[in-house]
C-alpha cells in the first residue's frame, strides 16, 4: 500500500510539472481543465495496471533463513514473527489514516455549516433563474454551486460585473471540480499535491470565467473594473471567489493575452509518452508490501492450494536453508514446461529420477540407532534430528584453534546412502579448522537404517547448520 501511495504522489508530481511548464500559460482553458481533472484519476489507476509481457522478464528471488544448532554457552536467540510486526505496523498506519480523514472531514463539515449560516443571514433574490444571496455589512463575493453570494455594500455596477462573472462558474459547474478535490483532500489528507491541484483548478476557473465575460464586454473596461474594485476573499476552499489579491494580476494578463495557436494543442500529446513510461514503470516495479498484504488476505481463505502453500512456506522457514534437492524441487514447481520436456506426474518422481531425496520430503526417513521404528514418520524425523544434534554437541571440539573466538557458524551437508552409511560430508565455515572439525564429527555418526521412497531404498540428503560461541 505504501508503495502504491508513493507511486500516486510521484505521478501527480510529474503531471503537475508538465502542466506548469508546458500548459499553464496557454489559453486552452477547457483543455487545461480536463487535464487537471483527468490526471489525478490517472495517477490512481496507472499503478494498478501491469503489463504482463514486461513483468515476466523480472526474476524472482527466494531468501530462506537457516535455523541453528547452538553449542556451548546459551545465547539469547529472539525469533520475531514478521507477519505480526507487519500487521501491527499496518494497523497503526490505518488508524492514523482514519484519524486524518476524521479531522479533514470535520473541517469540510464546518465549512458547509459556515456557508449555511451565511445563507441564513443574507437576503435571497432570484436573478435570471439563479439564487443571489445579499450579505449584510460586507463586500464578499463568491459562488457555491447555483448560489451566488454578494456583499450588500457593493454598488449596483460592481454587483452587475460580479454576477456576470459568477454566472459562468454556475453554468460550467465549477463547484463540482473544487468539491472533487475537496473529497480527495479528505481521503488523501497527507498528500500536498492534492492541494496544489485544487489551487491550479481554482485559478484556471477564474481564467475561464474572465474569458467568457470578455466575449460580451470590452476587455479593457473589464480589467479596469477589476483594478478599481477591492473585495474580501472567502476562506472557503471549494467556492469560486471573484477577487483575490494574489490572483488579480495574472487574471488581467490572461485577459490581455492573445489566443494560443492551434498547433500548441499538440503539447497535450506529451501525455502519450508520459503515460506509457508510467505503465512501463508500474509493470516493472515490484510492490513487495502490496504482494505481502494480498498474500495475507488470500491465506485467510479456505482454498486448499493456498493452505498448502502456507504450510510449505512455514516448513521452509522452520527448517532453514534449502538443500540442493529442495531448491531443485521448488524450481521444478516454478518452471514452465517446454515442448519436448519430460512430463513428471509428481515432484517425488522428479526427485527420484534426480538421484538424492531431500530429508524433508522422504516417505520413510533414515532411522537413527535407538529410535523407535514403529513411530510415525514425523516422530522419526524429530528423533533423528535430536540424536544428531546431541551427537554434535557432545563430540564437537570448540577448542580446535586458540585464535578463534566469538560466535562461529558452520554449514554442514551430508548424505545417508542406500546402505545407511554417512558419506559425502561437506562443511563451510570462516576457518578451515572448524570445517575439518565439523567433517570429523559428522563422519562419526553411526550407520543408520536407510530411507525409503516408494518402497525403494534411496540416498537422502541432510543439511545441518552449527552455531557456537568461543570465549577468549
DSSP strand E in 246-383: where? Answer: 357-358
Residue 143, C-beta contacts closer than 8 angstroms, at least 6 positions apart: 149, 166, 169, 170, 174, 175, 239, 240
Q: Are 441 and 45 in contact (CB under 8 A)?
A: no
The DSSP bridge pattern shows strands 123-127 and 422-429 to be unpaired
Residues belonging to the chain: 472
CA-wise closest residue to 201 among 176, 219, 233 = 176
Please classify residue 176 by burial: count the beta carbons closer than 10 Å to its beta carbon, then call 0-12 exposed, 13-18 middle and 19+ buried: exposed
Q: Are 453 and 418 in contact (CB under 8 A)?
A: no
Q: Which helix (H) or strand (E) holds 466?
A: strand 460-470
How far apart are the C-alpha atoms of 332 and 345, rounded to whole Å?
12
How far apart are the C-alpha atoms of 147 and 383, rounded to whole Å?
82
* Annotated domain spans of the chain: 2-283, 299-355
Q: What is the pTM (predicted TM-score) of this model?
A: 0.52
Looking at residue 196, its pLDDT comes to: 95
Please classify residue 21 by burial: count the beta carbons closer than 10 Å to its beta carbon, then call 0-12 exposed, 13-18 middle and 19+ buried: exposed
How far apart are the C-alpha atoms of 217 and 255, rounded to whole Å?
11
Looking at residue 327, its pLDDT comes to: 73
Looking at residue 36, its pLDDT comes to: 95
Q: Are 264 and 28 in contact (CB under 8 A)?
A: yes
**Tens place of pLDDT for every residue, the chain, 472 residues?**
788 888 999 999 999 999 999 998 888 999 999 999 999 999 999 988 877 665 555 444 333 333 455 555 444 444 434 444 455 556 678 889 999 999 999 999 999 999 999 889 888 988 777 889 998 888 888 898 889 998 888 888 788 888 888 899 999 999 999 999 999 999 999 999 999 999 999 999 988 988 888 887 766 667 666 655 544 444 456 665 654 555 777 877 787 777 888 888 888 888 888 888 888 888 776 544 444 444 444 444 456 777 777 777 777 777 767 776 677 677 777 676 666 666 666 776 666 555 555 566 677 888 999 888 888 888 888 888 888 888 988 888 877 766 777 778 888 888 888 888 998 899 988 888 888 989 999 999 999 998 888 788 888 888 888 887 766 5
Cell of 93: 498506519
Q: What DSSP designation does 67 have?
A: P
Cell of 77: 536467540
Distances (CA, A) of 194 to 12, 71, 232, 427: 8, 58, 25, 58
Residue 221, C-beta contacts closer than 8 angstroms, at least 6 positions apart: none
Backbone phi, then psi, for 129, in 5-degree steps?
80, 10
Q: Are 443 and 426 in contact (CB under 8 A)?
A: no
CA-based radius of gyration for the chain: 37
How far apart are the C-alpha atoms of 419 and 447, rounded to whole Å?
8
Instruction: Give SS3 for 363.
Output: coil
Backbone phi, then psi, for 244, in 5-degree steps?
-145, 125
How far apart are the C-alpha atoms of 445 and 387, rounded to whole Å?
10
Instruction: Give SS3 for 421.
Output: coil
Q: Which helix (H) or strand (E) holds 364?
A: none
Looking at residue 172, its pLDDT comes to: 92
Amino acid at each position: 500500500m505504501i508503495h502504491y501511495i508513493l507511486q500516486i504522489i510521484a505521478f501527480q508530481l510529474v503531471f503537475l510539472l508538465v502542466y506548469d511548464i508546458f500548459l499553464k500559460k496557454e489559453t486552452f482553458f477547457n483543455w487545461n481543465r480536463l487535464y487537471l481533472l483527468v490526471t489525478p484519476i490517472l495517477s490512481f489507476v496507472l499503478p494498478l495496471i501491469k503489463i504482463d509481457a514486461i513483468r515476466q522478464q523480472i526474476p524472482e528471488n527466494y531468501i530462506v533463513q537457516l535455523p541453528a544448532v547452538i553449542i556451548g554457552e546459551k545465547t539469547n536467540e529472539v525469533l520475531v514473527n514478521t507477519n505480526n510486526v507487519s500487521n501491527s505496523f499496518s494497523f497503526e498506519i490505518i488508524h492514523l489514516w482514519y484519524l486524518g480523514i476524521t479531522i479533514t472531514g470535520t473541517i469540510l463539515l464546518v465549512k458547509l455549516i459556515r456557508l449555511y449560516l451565511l445563507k441564513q443571514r443574507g437576503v435571497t433574490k432570484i436573478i435570471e433563474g439563479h439564487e443571489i444571496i445579499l450579505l449584510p455589512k460586507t463586500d464578499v463575493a463568491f459562488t457555491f454551486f447555483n448560489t451566488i453570494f454578494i456583499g450588500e455594500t457593493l454598488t449596483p455596477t460592481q454587483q452587475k460585473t460580479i454576477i456576470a462573472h459568477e454566472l459562468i462558474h454556475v453554468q460550467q459547474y465549477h463547484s463540482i471540480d473544487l468539491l472533487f478535490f475537496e473529497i480527495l483532500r479528505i481521503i488523501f489528507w497527507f498528500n500536498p499535491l492534492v492541494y496544489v491541484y485544487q489551487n491550479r483548478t481554482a485559478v484556471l476557473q477564474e481564467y475561464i470565467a474572465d474569458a467568457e465575460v470578455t466575449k460580451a464586454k470590452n476587455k479593457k473596461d473589464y480589467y479596469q473594473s477589476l483594478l478599481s474594485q477591492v473585495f474580501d476573499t472567502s476562506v472557503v476552499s471549494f467556492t469560486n471567489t471573484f477577487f483575490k489579491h494574489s490572483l488579480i494580476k495574472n487574471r488581467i494578463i490572461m485577459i490581455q493575452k492573445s489566443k494560443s495557436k492551434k498547433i500548441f494543442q499538440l503539447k497535450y500529446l506529451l501525455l502519450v509518452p508520459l503515460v506509457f513510461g508510467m505503465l512501463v514503470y508500474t509493470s516493472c516495479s515490484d510492490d513487495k508490501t502490496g504482494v505481502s498484504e494480498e498474500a495475507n488476505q488470500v491465506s485467510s481463505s479456505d482454498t486448499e492450494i493456498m493452505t498448502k502453500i502456507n504450510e510449505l512456506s512455514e516448513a521452509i522457514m522452520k527448517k532453514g536453508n534449502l538443500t540442493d534437492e529442495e531448491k531443485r524441487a521448488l524450481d521444478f514447481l516454478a518452471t514452465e514446461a517446454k515442448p519436448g520436456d519430460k512430463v513428471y506426474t509428481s515432484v517425488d518422481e522428479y526427485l527420484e529420477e534426480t538421484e538424492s531425496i531431500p530429508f524433508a520430503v522422504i516417505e520413510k526417513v533414515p532411522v537413527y540407532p535407538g529410535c523407535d521404528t514403529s513411530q510415525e514418520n514425523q516422530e522419526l524425523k524429530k528423533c533423528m534430528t535430536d540424536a544428531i544434534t546431541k551427537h554434535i554437541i557432545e563430540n564437537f571440539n570448540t577448542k580446535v584453534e586458540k585464535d578463534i573466538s566469538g560466535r562461529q557458524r558452520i554449514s554442514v551437508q551430508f548424505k545417508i546412502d542406500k546402505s545407511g552409511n554417512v558419506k559425502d560430508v561437506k562443511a563451510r565455515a570462516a576457518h578451515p579448522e572448524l570445517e575439518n572439525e565439523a567433517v570429523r564429527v559428522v563422519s562419526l555418526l553411526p550407520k543408520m537404517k536407510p530411507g525409503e521412497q516408494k518402497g525403494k531404498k534411496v540416498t537422502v540428503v541432510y543439511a545441518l547448520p552449527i552455531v557456537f560461541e568461543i570465549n577468549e
